[in-house]
Each structure stands twice: as structure tokens, then as C-alpha cells.
């Protein structure tokens, strides 16, 4: 399911690029299902990971937990590992946005690909959220990895939002700080719950509007 979704979004992005089918096939063949699943396991506290030279486990990404800071650090470290200049922006109390921008030929034309990394749980327990939304975060990371050395005719920003489960303060902060910038938004692509397949039909549903 996840690999289908990532394939679709790569095709979607490349509909802007007018690449030939051979190029597209090459990129889709780079999708690594083991990496996609490993990312989800790390974000959902199933696997330990090294963060800033310490062995850590991302115990919870619950919206009100300070432990989700570890997830932000790890997401940033992956973007850096893939060759991007990534940053963490504190947008509200206990809320951080992780982002990296890949500059394209028309640098002020911006496509944003996002996933929220905070999670939700009605119980007082941690919220591992493998589907909502470690799956979307994993896909954004994998697309960032695959597109690292691909020349684009627009800029592409990879963003991991915090606060989606509460007041969406992180995304509001982002928009408010872009109001006076020269950026022209081409597309906003939000990857959320990509591993959800309620009726097991193995189909991907895309919500969009013109
Ligand atoms: Zn979600």
C-alpha cells in the first residue's frame, strides 16, 4: 500500500517536469520498501536509533508529549543525511516544524510536500501512530532521498508539521511568515495516513481540488 502511494506521488511530482517515461521508471525503481518500513518502525518506537550520538527510542509523538522532540531531531538528521540543509523551527510551546528546501530553476515557484509527525491517542498512553502519521513522514523522507540529485524547474520544500492534531499552530506560523515573501505556491501535497486501507482493496484514494 505504502509503496503504491509513494509511486503515485512521485508520478504526481513528475507531471510537472515533463520527464520521459524512462526517467520516471528509474526513479520509481529507487523506492525502497525496506527503508519505508524501517522509517515507520523508528517513528513508532519499535526500533532504537542513534540521535546526536545517543541511542534513543522515540517513545511517543503524542501531541502533548515533549518526547516528540526526538522525532523532530531524527527527521532533521535524515534530511541532512540525504544532503539537504534542514532546520527545526520552534513555532509554539512544545511545537516544532522540520523543513528543508530544494531550490529549483524557478526558485520562487514552490511545491510543498508535507506530513505531520505529531500523533493522537485517547488513552494516557504514548501515541505511536504508525499509520497516522509515521506512514506519511516515511513517504516524504523517501521522496526526499530519491529526488536529492534530480534537477527541478521549481523549488520543492519538505516539511514535517507538528500540532496537526491540535491547533495547527505550526502550519499557521509558516503561512503567516510567508505573507510578504515573493513565493508563488504551485502545489501543496499533504501525505497523511498512507498505510490506511480500511477495506483491503489495495487502492489509493487521492483527495484534491482544482
Ligand atoms: Zn493525520
User: How far apart are the CA of 190 and the centre of ligand 1, in A?
Assistant: 10
Answer yes or no: is 205 within a domain: no
Is the pTM value of this prediction over 0.85? yes
Confidence band (pLDDT; 50, 70, 90) for 171? confident
How many structural domains compose the chain? 1
Centroid of ligand 1 to alpha carbon of 202 (angstroms):
19
The answer as to whether 199 is a domain residue is: no
Percent of the chain with pLDDT over 70: 91
Q: How far is the CA of 191 from the centre of ligand 1 (A)?
A: 8
Residues 187-199 pLDDT 10s: 888 998 888 877 8
Residue 38 lies in a domain: yes
In a domain, 94, yes or no: yes
Residue 204, in any domain of the structure = no
Give the distance (Å) from ligand 1 centre to CA of residue 194. Answer: 9
Q: Which domain holds residue 21?
A: 2-190
Task: Sort strands 106-116 and 184-190 into parallel, antiparallel or unpaired.
Answer: parallel
Output the CA 132–ligand 1 centroid distance in Å: 5
Q: Report the pLDDT value the prediction gives residue 86, as an integer from 0 to 100.
A: 97
Distance from the alpha carbon of residue 19 to the mean position of ligand 1, in angstroms:
31
Q: Is residue 196 assigned to a domain?
A: no
- Residue 103: exposed, middle, or buried by beta-carbon count in 10 A (0-12, 13-18, 19+)? middle
Q: Is residue 200 part of a domain?
A: no
Q: Does residue 163 sit within a domain?
A: yes
CA–centroid distance, 186 to ligand 1, in Å, is 23
For residue 21, report the distance from its CA to the centre of ligand 1, in Å.
Answer: 32
DSSP secondary structure, the chain, as one string: -HHHHHHHHHHHHHTTTT--HHHHHHHHHT--HHHHHHHHHHHTTSS-EEETTEEE-----BTT-TTHHHHHHHHHHHHHHTT--EEEEEEETTEEEEEEEE--SEEEEEEEEEEE--B--SSSS----IIIIIIHHHHHHHHHHHHTT---SEEEEEEEES-TTTT-HHHHHHHHTTTTS--EEEEEEE---TT--TT-----------
For the stretch 71-107, pLDDT in tens is: 999 999 999 999 999 999 998 888 999 999 999 999 9
CATH of the domain at 13: 3.40.630.10
Amino acid at each position: 500500500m505504502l509503496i503504491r502511494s509513494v509511486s503515485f506521488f512521485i508520478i504526481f511530482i513528475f507531471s510537472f517536469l515533463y520527464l520521459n517515461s524512462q526517467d520516471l521508471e528509474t526513479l520509481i525503481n529507487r523506492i525502497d520498501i525496506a527503508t519505508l518500513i524501517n522509517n515507520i518502525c523508528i517513528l513508532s518506537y519499535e526500533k532504537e536509533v542513534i540521535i546526536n550520538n545517543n541511542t534513543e527510542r522515540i517513545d511517543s509523538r503524542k501531541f502533548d508529549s515533549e518526547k516528540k522532540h526526538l522525532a523532530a531531531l531524527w527527521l532533521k538528521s535524515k534530511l541532512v543525511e540525504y544532503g539537504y540543509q534542514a532546520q527545526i523551527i520552534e513555532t509554539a510551546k512544545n511545537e516544532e516544524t522540520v523543513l528543508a528546501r530544494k531550490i529549483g530553476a524557478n526558485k520562487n515557484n514552490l511545491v510543498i510536500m508535507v506530513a505531520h509527525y505529531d500523533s493522537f491517542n485517547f488513552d494516557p498512553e504514548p501515541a505511536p501512530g504508525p499509520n497516522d502519521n509515521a506512514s506519511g513522514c516515511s513517504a516524504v523522507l523517501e521522496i526526499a532521498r530519491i529526488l536529492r540529485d534530480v534537477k527541478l524547474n521549481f523549488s520543492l520544500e519538505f516539511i514535517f508539521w507538528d500540532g496537526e492534531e491540535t491547533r495547527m499552530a505550526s502550519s499557521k506560523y509558516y503561512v503567516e511568515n510567508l505573507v510578504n515573501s515573493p513565493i508563488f505556491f504551485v502545489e501543496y501535497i499533504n501525505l497523511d495516513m498512507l498505510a490506511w486501507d480500511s477495506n483491503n482493496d489495495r487502492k489509493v484514494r487521492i483527495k484534491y481540488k482544482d
